[in-house]
Amino acid sequence: MSMDRKFTIHRSPALANLERRLFLKRGLSLGALSLLAGCDITDQEGVQRLLNAMSRWNDGVQDWLFDPKRLAPEFPESRITRPFPFNAYYSESEVVEVDGSSYKLELAGMIREKKPWTLAELYTLPQVSQVTRHICVEGWSAIGKWSGVRFSDFLARIGADTTAKYVGFQCADDYYGSIDMATALHPQTQLSLRYADELLPPKYGYPMKLRIPTKLGFKNPKHIAAIFVTNEYPGGYWEDKGYNWYSGS
């Protein structure tokens, strides 16, 4: 199967919306029919409530399973997948163009130093690299090389309250997401500024993405515009549509 065929399963917002409605309307019907034959709509909602509760339960189990010292496997550069697939909730022609010269990373929430960061300032911070496997919630995986600032270093530098539960992200492409603090502090969680030793190209999230090799691909936000630290569950673009929030590897 060609890479194109495999990786063109992208969703426009309109399509995602439609899928969401189909999911609510038709998606449950097969399960509801097989499990609760003859029951009415409230039982379908009951099934959905049960599935949501199980997803929260699985968040807890994954949090418990997560070893903050366990590293994701790293690979030699010869194993890098070329071309590395593009993936987003929109198509590649709709990738947002961020102006690097006027870009400023905003900080909010439980952070001591909320001064916005320019790209030039971010580029001067100590940089690390990793060659790791990106695993998509759809099932496919690809190996890539990312370089940037270790996220735990950055959180320390800005005086983030690392006793808080969540780190949230707002992105220039209207994507949003959040992760648990333990994963934010994992040594391989990285504010990536480069892909394959080049400045992060627009399709991979210019000017900055968060690379988390211990979570599924959709937990790696691109085009990050703002970072905030909070104790209130921030949700996420796909999580609010039904994907499991923790989605750890």
Partner 1 sequence: MQSVLIHPLVVRVTHWINVLAVLIMITSGWSIYNASPLFPFEIPSQITLGGWLAGALQWHFAGMWLFALNGLVYLAYGIASGHLRRKLLPITPRAVLHDIREALRGHLAHDDLSVYNAAQRAAYVALIIALVVMVASGLAIWKPVQLYWLASLMGDYEGARLLHFFAMAAVFFIVLVHVTMVVLVPRTFPTMFTGRFRRTS
Residues making contact with partner 1 (CB under 8 A): 1, 6, 9, 19, 22-23, 26-28, 30-31, 34-35, 50-52, 54-55, 58, 62, 65-67, 70-73, 133, 135-141, 213-214, 238, 241-244, 248-249
Q: Which is nearer to partner 1, 36 or 164 (CB)?
A: 36
73 secondary structure, DSSP code: P
200: number of Cβ within 10 Å: 21
How near is the Cβ of 39 to partner 1 at its closest, in Å? 16
Q: Which is nearer to partner 1, 123 or 243 (CB)?
A: 243
On whether the CB atoms of residues 44 and 29 are closer than 8 A, the answer is yes
How near is the Cβ of 227 to partner 1 at its closest, in Å? 24
182 forms beta bridges with none
- Reference 144, options 191, 44, 75, 95; nearest CA is 75
How near is the Cβ of 54 to partner 1 at its closest, in Å? 4
Separation of CA 9 from chain center = 17
What is the identity of the amino acid at 154?
A: F
| Token code pair at residue 208 | 């900055």
Q: Which is nearer to partner 1, 175 or 228 (CB)?
A: 175
How near is the Cβ of 148 to partner 1 at its closest, in Å? 20
Q: Which is nearer to partner 1, 72 or 110 (CB)?
A: 72
How near is the Cβ of 51 to partner 1 at its closest, in Å? 4
- Reference 167, options 221, 118, 122, 231; nearest CA is 231
Separation of CA 56 from chain center = 18
Q: How far apart are CA 71 and CA 233, in angstroms?
A: 26
Tell me the three state secondary structure of residue 5.
Answer: helix
Q: Which is nearer to partner 1, 133 or 165 (CB)?
A: 133
Separation of CA 190 from chain center = 12
Q: Which is nearer to partner 1, 58 or 118 (CB)?
A: 58
| Token code pair at residue 238 | 């796909």
Q: Calculate the dihedral angle through the C-alpha atoms of 224, 184, 161, 98, rounding to the nearest 10 degrees.
A: -10
Q: Which is nearer to partner 1, 22 or 120 (CB)?
A: 22
